[in-house]
Amino acid sequence: MCGGTMKRLFLTVSAVLLMWSSAHAQSGWFAQTSGTSQNLFSLDFNGTQLGWVCGDSGVILRTTNGGNNWERQVSGTNLRLTSIMFANATTGWALGGDPVSTPLCNNDNVLLKTTNGGMNWITQISTTIYLLTDLYVINAQTAFTSNAGICCPPFCIVSVGGIHATTNAGANWSSAYGRASHSIFFLDSVKGWASSVEQSDIPPGQSFILKTTNRGANWQEIRIDTANYVSRHLQFLNTNVGYLIRDALYKTTDGGYTWEAVNRPVTNSSRNHFFVNPDTGWCAGITGIFRTNDGGANWTLQTDLSGAFSALHFEDSNDGWAVGRTGIIYKTVTGGLTSLETSSERISSFELSQNYPNPFNPSTSIDFAISRNVDVSLVVYSLDGKEVNTLVNGNLSAGRHTVRFEADDLPSGVYLYKLVAGNSSVTKRMVLIK
């Protein structure tokens, strides 16, 4: 190769990498097209391909390809939907309502259910009494809702509200706890937590953390504070470690009996969070998306879209989504990281080599090694998260494997290739020059 050609190739590679770096300098997150400008508040996925999002004006969106395309479903309501959760690929619920009270101190509310993945939504509850606040689905038969009760100062002394449960797929809902509640989370089919308040026009009021060990048949008030703390977005990673949002992110290490604010300078503005294990998690809010690898002691800013995000969801340590104002949806396939390896834990028996040659045109080889027979997938993505090619998808035997990637029909650019073997995954990047 002559010097001039080599120089042009170097400049082209440098330009491609510079474009990638400038667009994603702080972020392993990329925007997806939602097709709506309504504010989005909640999302849920069943695997890395099938997911739903809900928001203002009764918006429910569904994807079957990891968010590459989103289609709007007919919810049958114009009310704000603030929580959505599925038991499986077909059965799920969504709830919400108008947070502004009527002159009679009521709120318009709705609870929707689908049994066909959202192709049809039916209304199970439509009231003008209390404000529905949260939803947790254990299975296709059992689900819980919380509501904030009725309190329009100065027309009430103590707010009323509670937790309601169904054990027959929503045909009936019965009261499980009788105090204004804001969040519910279950670690498994029987152990769960909830947050509650007892507001009053005469301060200070009380706040409660509740726990059940019998699927909500009984709720024990394990923490009582003489203050009106509204605790939202409860999540537990095991029987001891959990997180919630108040004026900042709070953490417990004793099962909910005591809580401490986590790194206030960073998490003060958090609106939501999601953890995949006790140490690794993300916070989203007014200043962007932050990631921690040490249980909240330290945080790294991954994307700084100010004021944008309201909810997060991860299916594993790599694949996640964030939603928020004006219909924004962001996705990551690397846990938000831009480095080549997505996990801080190095697994000696699980290896993914850099493709060779790199840069390449139009084909390259990818080597990887596994130490046992396991289900393996090796997928190539564009930088906007679209799946380009599935190179491997099946059970492979232990040993070293080589796959040839042909890119004849692809444009020049930077591509990601992600290897998943069992519970382990790693992502690297490669450059196609034409």
pLDDT digits (tens, 9 = 90+) for 168-213: 999 999 999 988 899 999 999 999 999 998 876 666 778 999 999 9
Question: Under 8 Å CB-to-CB from 316, ≥6 apart: which residues?
Answer: 48, 276, 423, 425
Alpha carbons 145 and 164: distance in angstroms, whole number: 5
Q: Both 166 and 59 in a single domain?
A: yes
In this model, does residue 16 exceed pLDDT 90? no
Question: Under 8 Å CB-to-CB from 29, ≥6 apart: which residues?
Answer: 289, 302, 303, 322, 330, 331, 332, 336
Residue 191, in any domain of the structure: yes
Q: Both 306 and 415 in a single domain?
A: no
Residue 9, in any domain of the structure: no
Q: Calculate mean pLDDT across residues 41-49.
A: 95
In this model, does residue 332 exceed pLDDT 70? yes
Residue 316, in any domain of the structure: yes
Q: At 346, which CATH number?
A: 2.60.40.1930
Alpha carbons 315 and 404: distance in angstroms, whole number: 28
- Do the Cβ atoms of 302 and 29 come closer than 8 Å? yes
Q: Calculate mean pLDDT across residues 64-80.
A: 95
Query: How many other CB atoms are there within 10 angstroms of residue 111's CB atom?
Result: 26
Of the residues 292, 307, 332, the one at which a domain ends: 332
Residue 324, in any domain of the structure: yes
Q: Both 315 and 347 in a single domain?
A: no
Alpha carbons 168 and 141: distance in angstroms, whole number: 5
Q: At 201, which CATH number?
A: 2.130.10.10
Domain count, the chain: 2
Query: How many other CB atoms are there within 10 angstroms of residue 287's CB atom?
Result: 20
Q: How far is CA 431 from the centre of its chain?
A: 30
Alpha carbons 123 and 391: distance in angstroms, whole number: 43
Q: Both 324 and 350 in a single domain?
A: no
Quote the tokens at residue 108: 């318009």
Q: Both 160 and 208 in a single domain?
A: yes
Q: Calculate mean pLDDT across residues 311-325.
A: 93
Q: How far is CA 158 from the centre of its chain?
A: 34
Q: What is the mean pLDDT of the chain?
A: 86
Whole-number pLDDT of residue 303: 85
Whole-number pLDDT of residue 110: 95
Identify the residue with better confidence: 83 or 343: 83
Closest Cα partner for 433 from 405, 409, 414, 406? 414
H helix or E strand, kind and range, residue 423: none
Residue 162, in any domain of the structure: yes
Quote the tokens at residue 93: 């619920």
Residue 14, in any domain of the structure: no
- The pTM score is 0.77
Query: How many other CB atoms are there within 10 angstroms of residue 226's CB atom?
Result: 10
Residue 3, in any domain of the structure: no
Q: Both 325 and 357 in a single domain?
A: no
Q: Calculate mean pLDDT across residues 242-263.
A: 96
Q: Both 318 and 362 in a single domain?
A: no
Q: Both 213 and 69 in a single domain?
A: yes
- Do the Cβ atoms of 86 and 79 come closer than 8 Å? no
Query: How many other CB atoms are there within 10 angstroms of residue 37's CB atom?
Result: 13
Q: Both 319 and 234 in a single domain?
A: yes
Range of the domain at 51: 29-332
Least reliable range by pLDDT among 69-73, 230-234, 384-388: 384-388
Q: Both 318 and 409 in a single domain?
A: no
Q: Both 359 and 307 in a single domain?
A: no
Q: Calculate mean pLDDT across residues 23-46.
A: 83
Of the residues 307, 332, 357, the one at which a domain ends: 332
Query: How many other CB atoms are there within 10 angstroms of residue 273's CB atom?
Result: 25
Q: How far is CA 302 from the centre of its chain?
A: 15
Of the residues 310, 332, 354, the one at which a domain ends: 332
Q: Both 315 and 365 in a single domain?
A: no
Residue 4, in any domain of the structure: no
Question: Under 8 Å CB-to-CB from 75, ≥6 apart: which residues?
Answer: 54, 58, 59, 60, 81, 94, 112, 121
